[in-house]
Chain A
Amino acid sequence: MRKPDGKIVLLGDMNVGKTSLLQRYMERRFPDTVSTVGGAFYLKQWRSYNISIWDTAGREQFHGLGSMYCRGATAVILIYDVNHPQSLLELEDRFLGLTDTASTDCLFAIVGNKVDLVEEPAAEDQRKDGRGPGVAGRGGGAPKAPRQVQPEDAAALYRKILKYKMLDEKDVPAAEQMCFETSAKTGHNVDLLFETLFDLVVPVISRQRAQGPPQTVDITSYKTPGQTPSGCCA
């Protein structure tokens, strides 16, 4: 087995579509999935690097494994379901804490999946007085419904994460670049998501390579470049 050069971890509540997104990207299909047990991973060759991508289990039962999966991660993709506001809240409440073990310069992306189920207030819908076409979606046969989570909510979470990580917005990619809305079902934005991330991860990997083994987050010695640790965590 070739040792991966970098690690990307997918986190998010169960049923938001982590496995589906990954399968869509890696295998170019949208098969039936079963709720993930434990975790699974893929190796992706990107340029000269081997990047491992971990699909985690969203079920509460496996929550404890998250920290280990995130250890040393170069990037974390936080996924919610745009039709379930709760799944976005869970990201902050349950999943963000798991990323404490990730690499200090870990990148974050926030992904609202299943946009295909959202009834867009586009021309088509105005014509129809806002009533959805009623086509049963694949995920449990859900019909199209008005949008539950706004893109701004995701961007707000992104900024919160930066604050939590004590990162300066100027030092990291902007929220617009790191918040995605995808559909594993149609493939919408899926390649964009992963490939944007790979391109951002590659320089981080080469930097880490130059510096030696990846550091893990050590709260006691935690420092952001150009910033002295403030007393806010004490």
Chain B
Amino acid sequence: MMSTKAFTLVSAVERELLVGDKEQGHIECVECCGKNLYVGTSDCIVYHFLLEERAQPAGTATFSATKQLHRHLGFRKPVSELRAASALNRLLVLCDNSITLVNMMSLEPVPSGARIKGAVALALNENPVSGDPFCVEVCIISVKRRTIQVFLVYEDRVQIVREVSTPEQPLAVAVDGHFLCLALTTQYIILNYNTGVAQDLFPYCSDEKRPIVKRIGRQEFLLAGPGGLGMFATVAGISQRAPVHWSENVIGAAICFPYVIALDNEFITVHSMLDQQQKQTLPFKEGHILQDFEDRKRRSFCCLLRTGDGLLQEHLQTGAELKASEPERNLLCSSSFVDCLHRVSQVKRGQWVMGLATGQVNSRGCKEMIEVTPRPGRIRVGGRVIVATSKGVYILVPLPLEKQIQDLLASRRVEEALVLAKGARRNIPKEKFQVMYRRILQQAGFIQFAQLQFLEAKELFRSGQLDVRELISLYPFLLPTSSSFTRSHPPLHEYADLNQLTQGDQEKMAKCKRFLMSYLNEVRSTEVANGYKEDIDTALLKLYAEADHDSLLDLLVTENSCLLTDSAAWLEKHKKYFALGLLYHYNNQDAAAVQLWVNIVNGDIHDSTRSDLYEYVVDFLTYSLDQELVWKYADWVLQKSEEVGVQVFTRRPLDEQQNSFNPDSIITCLKKYPKALVKYLEHLVIDRRLQKEEYHTHLALLYLDEVLQQRPGANSKGAEATETQAKLRHLLQKSDLYRVHFLIDRVRGADLPMESAILHGKLEEHEEALRILVHELQDFSAAEDYCLWRSEGRDPPYRQRLFHTLLAMYLQPGPSVPELAVAATDLLNHHAAEFDAAHVLQLLPGTWSVQLLRPFLTGAVRDSVHARRTTQVALGLAKSENLIYKYDKMKLKGSSVRLSDKKLCQMCQNPFREPVFVRYPNGGLVHTHCAAGRHTNPSPPGPGART
């Protein structure tokens, strides 16, 4: 078990102070109340000392005791117990089975001679039941067998309030409220003296061991248990804390939060109530008294004082250290207040009216103290732990909790330090505690961090709300030079930097860096980062760059707060030029960014982050809004690759292709780059379908030039030639915008029959076009396609005419070419529908066999038969329709209509004045003029109908 230094032992009263000449007297009991220290001896003397505490720079204190006076009580018996009742200014002295009341200052017995007789032991009720602040409750073990008595002790009288008998002889007693905690002969019990209900705690053997019963706080006691246990028990008979383990022969115990202190013949041991561990052992021989005076809480009072101009309220504490609640209102010194209380006369419970001697409270112009009311709150009076041998009195001075915690942290005992710190929560004001606790968490975090316990460290940093920069500052050069950060003072850890912490161990160093990376990455988007986003992101950038981490780019392309100058220098140092470009871009310095990337592509500087950096730059420029920049680098990208480079124009978002990116400026720029120009014109003509003659003609010309250029070595670049040619033909066919004549001129004599044919076609010169196709090229399927192409969207006669022209060309009189005949039959057989069969038959040479034209003829005959039949059907249908109408007419004419005055027009509801009328097929009669106004069957006229 590692030890903690929780207390130091300092001497308070040396033996010489206890009347040197009378040697047989030794210390029997002590009492401490504020600065007053009382010692009772075996030869019946009570000493009164004044304790003066002197703080030492090291944090501990020394004490000097000056003797005030001593008094022999006049018995032959030792003084066995002393208890101060400061509110009454009385000291209770147990001697010779009798409790005497003496004045705390003079040690004179009260004149009334009030005393409690027949007491073996006593206990003061620190949690008194009565609300009366001017009495104390005292509990005694009576000389009567198996009897406990409860008294109220006033300043000069005593009053018994209760006598209870116990199942066995009591040996020790402590009291809290109505609850007595008793050590009986064979067991400990809790006894409610109000209700008489007893609760067994646990058995023990009083023959073997002296029992210990000690109140340690509200409704809780500490008891000596079997096997050297210090057992905790509440008034409900329950243990709420695990026991502490003492030695078997403990004779006294005391509490000084969060410690339990125990005394045996050789040692003082200190256990923590928080984790039950033994924390400290101090050698201390022949000690026989151990007592704490910490929990002496005094009641506080509220006084109403009448001042010259009204009422003034003051909160006061009783006791020797009497003060107004606010230091500057130190109205009353202790003696004057105690004197005031002398004049108190009780009016009703809890309220006193008192006269006040003039001059005592007049510093604020008070005239009168009207009312003193006890407050429910109690005020802790700074206490101490005292140990004594028979010869001397010593004080166990607790080290300040903070110091203890720091000591624990210094020896890397994080767990214990945190437990202690948490345990101190209730002893330290909230704000102060929070500040302290946070700091401890942070320190603990750094301890874990230094041990590379990163998970734990992170949790501690988080809960301790660590300023991340504390952590970053451990890593050399990570904080931006502009950062205003300075480490907290006193420092949270002992390390100058990571080098010192890892002692140069590269592996550890790398681990630490990885941790920081993940930690910063986690916190950068949380509120932890508020206020120092720059510092965090810059540090993160540096870490990523140094570690060649992929996230560097992610960081730079998303929202970040990396500081430009610092980051730029760092990236440059680590040759992260691509990333540096991103950084420039993020900081709106696109020109610098592009220049940098261009340099990389050109090989002037080296950074292999992206193998496709050229494409990246093209892409970047494509979407760049900075037109100047795009123009500046247009030549560069085009020189690198015309096809790719031109994308900065072609892929540019449309809305941007206005202004300086208008087609004409671009075309001018692209003059030097024919391939790029073609791509660009294709973009305009094909993708964007710009209906502008220049572009179409220009593109066609460019295609043509290329085709012509490729001509001489046609064999070597065959495939490509066809490709361009195909594009050219396609354009010539599809576009109606280019200048046909201009092109025909260019094509003429260039030996481009197909193109010529297309161009003639455009001019509706079908004969010429077909002639080229049929006679020059002898490409019959092309001729067929031509007919289809040119007749697209035209009416059937036009189409027929075209086909007939072609057919005529095939059947032209002249030297018979067998291919043409075949072409003619194929044409007829494939496109039977496009021909007027009767007309064709006249054209065909009589020598042709029917078999040859069977498909055509069959089709033609079928068509003709079909046409005839459908016509007959139509005729039949028309006839029958006519018949139906005839029948209807007959029916209507068949019956007569009688017109009388009573018949009204169904439209206007007026009678018919003339014999002329209109009769609707459903029999309705209306005026002729009404019928003219409305050409529908008359419906019963609605509200809106005309009359």
Q: Which residues of A are at the interface with B, using a C-beta cutoff of 8 A?
A: 1, 3, 37-41, 54, 59, 61-62, 64-65, 67-69, 71-72, 101, 216
Contact = CB atoms under 8 A, between A and B. Distances in A.
Contacts of B276: 40
A64 B204 contact: yes
Contacts, number: 56
B246 to A, nearest CB: 10
Interface string B176-204: 00000000000100000000000011111
Contacts of A67: 200, 202
8 contacts: A1-B241, A38-B231, A61-B226, A62-B227, A64-B226, A68-B200, A68-B231, A69-B239
Contact of A38 (B203, B225, B233, B237): B225
A64 B227 contact: no
B212 to A, nearest CB: 15
B242 A40 contact: yes
A68 B227 contact: no
A72 B237 CA distance: 9
Given A40-B276, A72-B236, A65 B242 contact: no
Contacts of A59: 227
Contacts of B204: 64
B236 A39 contact: no
Interface string B542-585: 00000000000000000000000000000000000000000000
A64 B229 contact: no
B445 interface: no
A158 to B, nearest CB: 26
Contact of B229 (A1, A37, A101): A37
Contacts of A54: 239
- Residue of B204, B227, B229, B242 with most partner-chain A CB within 10 A: B242
B252 interface: no
B201 A38 contact: no
B727 interface: no
B50 to A, nearest CB: 38
B200 A37 contact: no
B75 to A, nearest CB: 40
B226 A72 contact: no
B229 A71 contact: no
Interface residues of B, number: 22
Contacts of B226: 61-62, 64-65
Nearest to A42: B242
B202 A38 contact: no
A39 B201 contact: no
B237 A39 contact: no
A74 B187 CA distance: 25
B203 A64 contact: yes
B202 A65 contact: yes
A61 B245 CA distance: 14
Interface string B294-320: 000000000000000000000000000
B789 to A, nearest CB: 82
B242 A38 contact: yes
Interface string B210-236: 000000000000000111010101001
Given A37-B227, A62-B227, A68 B201 contact: yes
A41 B236 CA distance: 18
A38 B238 contact: no
Contacts of B239: 39, 54, 68-69
Contacts of A1: 240-241
Given A37-B227, A38-B231, A71 B243 contact: no
A64 B187 CA distance: 9
Interface of B: 187, 200-204, 225-227, 229, 231, 233, 236-243, 245, 276
A71 B242 contact: no
Q: Which 9 A-B pairs rank lowest in CB-CB distance, beginning with the nearest?
A: A38-B243, A64-B203, A38-B229, A64-B202, A40-B242, A65-B202, A68-B202, A37-B245, A61-B227
B233 A39 contact: no
A4 to B, nearest CB: 8
A38 B227 contact: yes
A71 B237 contact: yes
A74 to B, nearest CB: 12
A71 B233 CA distance: 11
Contacts of A101: 237
Contact of A39 (B187, B203, B243): B243
B659 to A, nearest CB: 66
A68 B243 contact: no
Contacts of B243: 37-39
Contacts of A72: 236, 238
B238 A68 contact: yes
Nearest to A216: B237
Nearest to A55: B242
Contact of B238 (A39, A40, A61, A71): A71
A93 to B, nearest CB: 18
Contact of A65 (B231, B240, B245): B231
A39 B242 contact: yes
Contacts of B236: 71-72
A58 B914 CA distance: 132
Contacts of A64: 187, 202-204, 226
Nearest to A218: B197
- Residue of B200, B226, B231, B240 with most partner-chain A CB within 10 A: B226
Contacts of A38: 225, 227, 229, 231, 242-243, 245
A145 to B, nearest CB: 32
Nearest to A38: B243
Contacts of B203: 64
Contacts of B227: 37-38, 59, 61-62
A56 B80 CA distance: 38
A62 B243 CA distance: 12
A72 B233 CA distance: 13
A132 B236 CA distance: 51
B422 to A, nearest CB: 9
A72 B187 CA distance: 20
A131 to B, nearest CB: 42
Given A39-B242, A64-B226, 8 more contacts: A38-B227, A40-B276, A54-B239, A64-B187, A64-B203, A65-B202, A65-B225, A71-B238
A41 B231 contact: no
A51 B229 CA distance: 24
A38 B242 CA distance: 8
A41 B241 CA distance: 8
Contacts of B202: 64-65, 67-68
Nearest to B200: A67
Nearest to B187: A64
A168 to B, nearest CB: 28
Nearest to B422: A1
A163 B594 CA distance: 90
- Residue of B200, B227, B229, B238 with most partner-chain A CB within 10 A: B238
B405 to A, nearest CB: 18
Nearest to A52: B240
A69 B243 CA distance: 11
A39 B241 CA distance: 9
A54 B240 CA distance: 10
Contacts of A40: 242, 276
Nearest to A4: B240
A68 B240 CA distance: 10
A62 B238 CA distance: 16
Contacts of B245: 37-38
B236 to A, nearest CB: 7
A65 B242 CA distance: 12
B876 to A, nearest CB: 92
A37 B228 CA distance: 9
B398 to A, nearest CB: 20
Contacts of B233: 68
B238 A41 contact: no
